[in-house]
């Protein structure tokens, strides 16, 4: 099953962020991580909606929240247990959150 793993952190973390490279290398080597990358800061985000036929654009995220999605990975695991194990090894799990969202099967 494929999962979108969103890396949720405070925009300005209070703790040092470990290098994600060793985690990515391990998961790439296992064939679990399909793609992943960091995202730019929230001041570069744009939200797009269509309401009553009008395109409504706003800067930044819609919800005011302390945490934001700082990166993502698409992982493919045998089941949720393996996805949890993969997420628990990510350096951000020590101070942020890794949100796992399964894809609909094709």
pLDDT tens digits for range 67-105? 678 899 999 999 999 999 999 999 999 888 999 999 998
**Homologous superfamily of the 2-102 domain (CATH):** Dimeric alpha+beta barrel (3.30.70.1060)
> pTM (2 decimals)?
0.82
Residue spans per domain, the chain: 2-102
**What does each C-alpha distance from 30 to 1, 77, 94, 100 come to in angstroms?**
15, 10, 22, 18
pLDDT tens digits for range 49-61? 899 999 988 876 5
Q: Residues 87, 77: contact at Cβ < 8 Å?
A: no
* Window from 17-21, 22-26, 66-70, 93-97 with minimum mean pLDDT: 66-70
């Amino acid at each position: 099953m494929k999962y979108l793993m969103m890396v949720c952190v405070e925009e300005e973390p209070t703790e040092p962020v470990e290098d994600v490279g060793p985690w990515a290398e391990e998961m790439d080597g296992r064939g679990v991580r399909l793609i992943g990358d960091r995202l730019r800061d929230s001041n570069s985000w744009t939200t797009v909606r269509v309401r009553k036929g009008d395109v409504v654009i706003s800067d930044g995220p819609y919800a005011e929240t302390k945490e934001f999605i700082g990166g993502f990975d698409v992982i493919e695991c045998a089941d949720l247990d393996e996805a949890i194990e993969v997420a628990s090894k990510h350096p951000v799990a020590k101070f942020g959150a890794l949100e796992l969202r399964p894809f609909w099967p094709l």
